[in-house]
Chains A and B, each alone.
Chain A
Amino acid sequence: MRVSPWSTPLLIVYAILITFAITAGPILIAGANPIEAYGAFVVVPLTSQFTLLEILVSATPIMLTGAAVAVAFRAGYWNIGAEGQLLLGAIAAAGIGTLVGGLHPVIALPIMIVGGALGGAAWALAPALLRIRFGIDEVVTTLLLNPVALLLVNGLLHGPWRDPVTGFPESPRIAASAEFPTLIDRSRLHLGILLALIVVTVAWYVLARTAAGLRLRAAGLSPHGARFAGINVSRTLLGAALVSGAIAGIAGVSEVAGIQNRLTAGLSPGYGYTGIVVATLGTLTMPGVAIAAIFLGDLTVGASSAARSLGIPSQLGAVVQGVLLLTTVALLALRRNRARRPADGSAGSVTGDVAAEGTAG
């Protein structure tokens, strides 16, 4: 195999280097040595068991939302609504979680996971149907349903689900049998990471090795060519949208059952949007999504510890993330322009453009 200077892994490495060069300015302004800061962001979290496990905890929800986004984007369905779908999964989990107290976890947990997946898929259904039936742009509809989902959460928390004991806008704690078990003592690492890895593995297998996956990729690369070859593109898009919503819903289950143990308004600090970053950095491949999620988890843990050790604002982690997304998208676009493309610049042959729009919105 010849290695092109524009191969995907190299491209991501360039993107990281360029990002470090660009963010050196803000870090200097914050009064820290950039080299030291990058060390704190990236390397320090890898040096202790506690932070290593925390990286995985941070990576769990965004690995799931990243996989959700990547599945949809590969089909050419620009689902920007993973955030809302995650919240619906969380609502379902919080509701089911209070009802399954009498059941053994082996039964309770699958019920909750399936319920959350259905919740996420249900939230993804309307935009998908509008797109397929009427050609209404799903970027807009999926994005706009995100705040609606948050309103639904707040409505529940200030209404029927308000904690009766404390009066806080939090739902009642879910049953013990519905909580995800921790995997390692005295850490927050929970079942969710295994769930995320299983989802990523299954999604990889389906995309790479099955007829359904090939149809989905074909529809994403060239809807016209796929339709011409007899593939039912509408059904493929609907399937991709629902699976995407379901995976995002599982992310919501994971946060409720693994971290919060109840529904809270601050359950997701934008995991659905970060999923777009993860999917783009992972170039819409499942191994890429897993690596990108762990890398961003590393940055998140690193940024909060750097805030303490170097006295710089923890928001610099988000700055690095944002710049990294922009440079990655820019390099992918640059590569697409360089590539010889005879006839059509078929939509979605490279990932990032719409993803970038989504996070900007």
Chain B
Amino acid sequence: MIDSAPALELRGITKRFGDLVANDGIDFDVRRGEVHALLGENGAGKTTVMRIAYGLTQADAGEVRVEGQPRIIRSPRDAISAGIGMVTQHFALVGPMSVAENLALGRSRGLRLDLAAARRRAASASDRFGIRIDPSLRVANLSVGQQQRVEIVKALSRDCRVLILDEPTAVLVPDEVNALFATLRSLVADGLSIVFISHKLAEVRAISDRVSVLRRGKLVGTAAGSTDERELARMMVGRPTFGVERVADGAAPSAKPILRIRGLHVAGANDLPAISDVSADVCAGEILGVAGVSGNGQTELVEVLSGMRRPTSGSAAVSGTELAGADPGQVMRAGVGRIPEDRHASLIGDLSVAYNLVLERLDDFGNGGRIDERRIRAHAVELIRRFDIRAGPDDPVATLSGGNIQKVLLARVLSRDPRVIVVSQPTRGLDVGATEYVRSQLLERRADGAAILLVSEDLDELIALSDRLIVLYEGRIVGEMAVADADPEQLGMLMAGRGRAA
């Protein structure tokens, strides 16, 4: 069956971004006529290693071989000429142009635009692989699933023999997933090789011949596509038990719900709901952790609770005050403090630390329109001391380090003594010291009786801080458990869309 060298082989691929090792000596190969899945949590390095294979990112070390021959791939152009195609998560299509024009892009020599050839290619793809797509349609009018087909045809029309698909099902409705899988099977039957990047266990098992699991930039292992889901989940999450100490102290949360979320629905892209029927309570003195692979509705949930997004239906109330549909000002007046995942965009980089610290409550620092610069400054000096921010009051926030920016946000929120804190990825990208500090502040607030909703991709963090966990998958709560009962393997299964908590 395997007549020669692998269609694509990566050897010892290493890539660092600053201190972060995104890929650590990864070996990977895909044979002719095979679907080889690359499985892992967010940030495991799946996309990075394939971007390297496609020339979108340059490796620090390692080798790419195509059919046994070492190839130097510095750009997608090199990759395409080596027979490698990739469909990234964000499509590289020109919306206002027709399908045929998109297929002709990047292929035309000189000034000639050969649309007839593009149409022929679309027709031949349709014949050979059953990918039906009308070449005269405008790309912007196509559904996401159809656009994905155009991307696949585009790669095929450049005679690729290895096709890399990065989370191809993330944007598809179930029928489209089935159609995609049918297409992939016919491609493989025709001798193509497919690299299928995913974090969804069921899909990986349904389509793959082999599965390689990445965790924190390292290859954990390669297994047959039929491997038991529990085994795959364990490889993905990485440990039979959690290695972290619970740092949340003994005081049990009260049974008094402060934040009540009921039947929340939020519309997403491509008619897929971003959040469906989410209900949860967060009590005083409790941290509710929200686990899940990113892109499963966490961002939208936090945005609704922050007043930045309107839900389609449902309710989220803080002691009777409705947050659904409220604007950020109303949300804050209801006593909600918000520390969002995108901390840079939530402050104003070109304004000073002092101004950013008062921006949520300017009315408290003015008398009849005029702002009281002296009080703003004194307030800043006080918070800089209290929260150990390494900056001066007049420094523009953009000049601060990530940890200090997070402390500015933390200071702005906590200085108002919020009853509810909605916090997302609070320590992502922070160094150890800043991470410890942020976590200790959240725990202190918990002890003071705040109700905290904590979204994090870092399972260790969730385990260390939360009292209870809910797991989001495709916008739904698929599991809920006390942290004491959380078991990593089961969490991994839930996050990958398999099974429900008992």
Q: Check if A and B associate.
A: yes
Identify the A interface with B (CB < 8 A): 209-212, 214-215, 217-218, 221-222, 224-232, 340-344, 346, 349
> B359–A229 contact, CB under 8 A?
yes
Interface string of B340-370 (1 = CB under 8 A from A): 1010111111110001000110110110011
Write 30 A-B pairs (CB below 8 A) sorted by A numbering: A209-B371, A210-B366, A210-B369, A210-B370, A211-B362, A211-B363, A212-B369, A214-B362, A214-B371, A217-B351, A218-B351, A218-B359, A222-B345, A222-B348, A222-B349, A228-B306, A228-B328, A228-B338, A228-B346, A230-B307, A230-B327, A230-B329, A231-B329, A341-B349, A342-B349, A342-B398, A342-B402, A343-B349, A346-B345, A349-B350
Whether the pair B329, A221 counts as a contact (CB closer than 8 A) is no
Chain B residue with the shortest CB-CB distance to A348: B350
* Chain B residues with CB below 8 A from A214, complex form: 355, 359, 362, 371
**Which residue from B340, B342, B359 sits with its C-beta under 8 Å from A231?**
B359
Nearest residue in A to B367 (C-beta to C-beta)?
A: A211
Contact of A215 among B342, B349, B350, B362 (CB under 8 A): B362
Closest CB in chain B relative to A291 CB, distance in Å = 22
Provided the pairs A210-B369, A230-B332, A346-B350 are in contact, do residues A225 and B345 lie with their beta carbons within 8 angstroms? yes
Q: Whole-angstrom distance between the alpha carbons of A61 and B226 in the complex?
A: 78
B421 → A minimal CB distance (Å): 15
Once bound together, how far apart are the Cα atoms of A343 and B128, in whole Å?
A: 45
Chain A residues whose C-beta falls within 8 Å of the C-beta of B344 in the assembled complex: 342-344
Q: Is B430 an interface residue (CB 8 A)?
A: no
User: Please, which residues of chain A bring their CB within 8 A of the CB of B308?
Assistant: 227-228
**CA–CA, A232 and B328, complex, Å:** 9
Contact A225–B346 (Cβ < 8 Å):
yes
Interface: B399 (CB within 8 A): yes
Binding site for A on B (CB under 8 A): 306-308, 327-329, 332, 338, 340, 342, 344-351, 355, 359-360, 362-363, 365-366, 369-371, 373, 398-399, 402, 405
| Bound form: Cα–Cα A218–B397 in Å | 13
B contact residues around A211 at 8 Å (CB) = 362-363, 365-366, 369-371
A171–B47 alpha-carbon span in the complex (Å): 70
B284 → chain A closest CB, angstroms:
24
- Bound-state CA distance A212–B360 (Å) is 13
Q: Is B340 a contact of A228 with CB atoms below 8 Å?
A: yes
Q: Which residues of B contact A209 (CB under 8 A)?
A: 370-371, 373
Instruction: Enumerate chain B residues within 8 angstroms of A230, measured Cβ to Cβ.
Output: 307, 327-329, 332, 359-360
Contacts of B347 in A (CB 8 A): 222, 225
Inter-chain CA distance A221–B363, complex, in Å, is 20
Q: Could you say which residues of chain A place their CB within 8 Å of the CB of B340?
A: 228
Task: List, in ascending order, chain B residues with CB within 8 A of A346's CB.
Answer: 345, 348-350
Tell me the bound Cα distance from A228 to B422 in angstroms: 13
CA distance A212 to B362 in the complex (A): 9
Which residue of chain A has its CB nearest to the CB of B376? A214
* Contact in complex: B350, A221 (CB < 8 Å): yes
Candidate in A212, A225, A228 with the most chain B CB atoms within 10 angstroms = A228
Q: Report the separation of the CA atoms of residues A218 and B354 in the bound assembly, to the nearest whole angstrom.
A: 13
Q: Closest B-chain residue to A346, C-beta based?
A: B349
A218 to chain B, nearest CB (A): 5
Chain B contacts of A221 at CB under 8 A?
348-351
B428 to chain A, nearest CB (A): 13
Q: What CA separation (Å) do A329 and B186 show in the bound complex?
A: 55
Give every chain B residue within 8 A of A232 (Cβ-Cβ).
327, 329
* Most B C-beta atoms less than 10 A away, residue of A224, A229, A340: A229
Residues of the A chain whose Cβ atoms lie less than 8 Å from the Cβ of B348: 218, 221-222, 225-226, 229, 346
B350 surroundings in chain A (CB, below 8 A):
221-222, 346, 349
B398 to A341, Cβ gap below 8 A? yes
Shortest B46–chain A CB gap in Å is 24
Residues of A with C-beta under 8 A to B405: 342
